[in-house]
Amino acid sequence: MVYTAITGRFRVVIIGPARMLTAVYTFLLEFHHKAMTIRTILEFPDPRLRTTAAPVATVDKRIRHLLDDMLETMYEAKGIGLAATQIDVHERIVVMDLSEERDSPLILINPEVEIIGDGQLEHDEGCLSVPGFYETVSRPDCIRLRALNEKGEAFELEPDGLQAVCIQHELDHLNGKLFVDYLSALKRQRIRKKLEKLHRQSA
Ligand code: QAP
Ligand code: CO
């Protein structure tokens, strides 16, 4: 039930608790400098994807704002990982979320990977910068990750399975490398031609 009263120039609307909460949340988003922006994702074969990203010197407000935008952009695109390179920001930052519920972000700042075992793992990979294409890639299975979190604190992880694959895929982006680089030149060229055609059509 919505009750409306006209009081002079103002319309007073009495709303339910759910809508009230939504209104308060919208207000906080707009006026608390927490507003996030969905950024444009570069697509293969854009040469900017070949840039080597620079280390983050200090994890400050600017970096945390960028992390918010990256998470928003990744969730909106229904991705599981996004590197700053993909939104044309050439700093060593990655966001990931492998959870079904999309509520467990993992943030990697200045990530470094060390291979600590012999095994290889084959996995089908896709990429928000190579939309619509999925191919099998083989990568080291046993790795150790060292990175900083959103507070600038160092942490370590020994991921396996999809998490190990995704971390290596995202770290490649920071070095200007794409999963299509592991495919044959013929496959890569086919993907490039199809994406170039799509880009022409939408231009
Ligand atoms: C990297 O990729 C990854 O083609 C993250 O139409 C992917 O989030 C690592 C996506 C798989 C390991 C395994 C791709 C969304 C998302 C598309 C992604 C698409 C829509 C890719
Ligand atoms: Co990617």
pLDDT, tens only, 1-27: 344 444 445 555 677 878 878 887 776
| Residue 159 CB–ligand 1 contact under 6 Å | no
Tell me: the pLDDT tens digits for 140-150?
A: 999 999 999 99
For the CA of 167, the nearest ligand = 1
| Residue 126 CB–ligand 1 contact under 6 Å | yes
Closest CA to 83 of 113, 108, 65: 108
| Residue 172 CB–ligand 1 contact under 6 Å | no
Between 2 and 69, the higher pLDDT residue: 69
| Residue 169 CB–ligand 1 contact under 6 Å | yes
* Residue 106 in tokens: 């993992």
Which residue puts its alpha carbon closest to atom 12 of ligand 1? 166
For the CA of 95, the nearest ligand = 1
Ligand 2 centroid, distance to 174 Cα (angstroms): 10
Name residue 157's beta-bridge partners. Answer: 145
Q: Are 59 and 152 in contact (CB under 8 A)?
A: yes
pTM: 0.86
Alpha carbon distance 125, 137 (integer Å): 7
Ligand 1 centroid, distance to 128 Cα (angstroms): 5
Alpha carbon distance 84, 77 (integer Å): 14
Give me the active site residues, please.
170
DSSP the chain: --EEEEETTEEEEE--HHHHHHHHHHHHHHHTT----PPPPP-TT-GGGGPPPBPPS---HHHHHHHHHHHHHHHHTT-SEEEGGGGT--BSEEEE---TTS---EEEEEEEEEE-SS-EEEEEE--TTSTT--EEEEEES-EEEEEE-TTS-EEEE---HHHHHHHHHHHHHHTT--GGGGS-HHHHHHHHHHHHHHHHHH-
- Whole-number average pLDDT of the chain: 92
Of 8-22, 30-44, 105-119, the poorest mean pLDDT is in: 8-22
Ligand 1 centroid, distance to 160 Cα (angstroms): 18
